[in-house]
Structure 1
Amino acid sequence: MRNFPYLSTATWLVIFRIGVSLLMVAHGLIRLYADTLGGFGEFLEGKGFPGGTYIAWAITLFEIVGGLVLASGFLRKLISGLFITELVFGILLVHLQNGWFVVGYSSGGIEYSVLLILCFFLIASTGRNK
């Protein structure tokens, strides 16, 4: 069945998966480009995570490599689950204290992370080649 604009639902799910995956790739790349890994590591250590710099590197590399692998359609359930876990930690450590909205009424809230979590649940639930 063809849907507007003339692509099948399966094709739109592939486009959706690629788009969401590339958001995570961009998230990791900007951390490298802006040279904020050290600050991220210090933040994690300040929250009680030993070896914060190593964790920051691992998260950053996972966002880049995992995002590319997910965009290609491989390991959808595993990588989506790991991204969901990362986003839940981000909510608990950073965003929850800022309320719901990312911008506007409040700033830095959880709404974007919740949306991404829902996106990754959808990606994990799709069948082969979708």
Structure 2
Amino acid sequence: MISTWIRSAPTQAHVSVALVRVAVALVILMHPLHGYAHLENIPRFGEYLSSLGFPYGGVLAWIVLLAQTAASLLMLAGRLVVPACVAHVVVLLTGIVVFHYPLGWYVVGPGEGGMEFSVLMISCLCAVAWAHWPRRRGL
């Protein structure tokens, strides 16, 4: 009995991946939903992006918002999961480089606003994408 807990192979991996897929999609979906509920913040986000040197900050802010929405809804529906994960990873990596990395590792605790949460989300997205990656038949 104890050895089955020590060396256990996953028996419900498809359920586990689905749980992570749905949880990550819902967590990320909260960001654009907050944006839609507070539309006055989107131009501010665009101005912030412009101040960092991104062209068309306002347009880019809307693209990020719409991409996060579409990618999250696709992940929830279980459709186009790999491209949706890639879209989220691009947004999260950009957020790390532009905002979180200069603040360090920790989100809370020894520091604030760091990149640990984004790294965890990227890891989950990569695992989900890998699980949904198309496999060649007959190999």
Which residue type is aligned with residue 33 of structure 1? A
Name the structure 1 match of 2:125.
Answer: 120
Q: What SS does the corresponding residue of 1:126 show, helix, strand or coil?
A: helix
Superposed displacement of residue 86, structure 1: 0.9
2:93 matched to 1:88? yes
Q: 2:15 aligns with which of 11, 34, 59?
A: 11
Q: 1:24 aligns with which of 28, 31, 38?
A: 28
Superposed displacement of residue 44, structure 1: 0.6
Name the structure 2 match of 1:3.
Answer: none
Any gaps of 5 or more consecutive residues in structure 1?
Answer: 1-6
2:76 matched to 1:71? yes
Superposed displacement of residue 67, structure 1: 0.3
Checking the alignment, whether the CA contact within 8 Å between 2:46 and 2:61 is kept in structure 1 is yes
Checking the alignment, whether the CA contact within 8 Å between 2:105 and 2:114 is kept in structure 1 is yes
If you compute each CA radius of gyration, which structure gives the higher value, 1 or 2? Answer: 2
Superposed displacement of residue 34, structure 1: 2.7
Identity of aligned residues (%): 30
Distance 2:32 2:128 in 1: 20
Name the structure 1 match of 2:107.
Answer: 102
**1:45-89 deviation line (CA, Å, top 9, x unaligned):** 001111111110111011112101111111121111111111111
Distance 1:45 1:27 in 2: 20
Q: What SS does the corresponding residue of 2:74 show, helix, strand or coil?
A: helix
Q: What SS does the corresponding residue of 1:48 show, helix, strand or coil?
A: coil
Superposed displacement of residue 12, structure 1: 2.1
Q: Looking at both structures, which has the greater relative contact order when contacts are Cα pairs under 8 Å and sequence separation is at least 6?
A: 1
How many residues align structurally?
122
TM-score (norm 1): 0.88
Aligned residues: CA RMSD: 1.4
Distance 1:12 1:30 in 2: 28
Any gaps of 5 or more consecutive residues in structure 2?
Answer: 1-10, 134-139
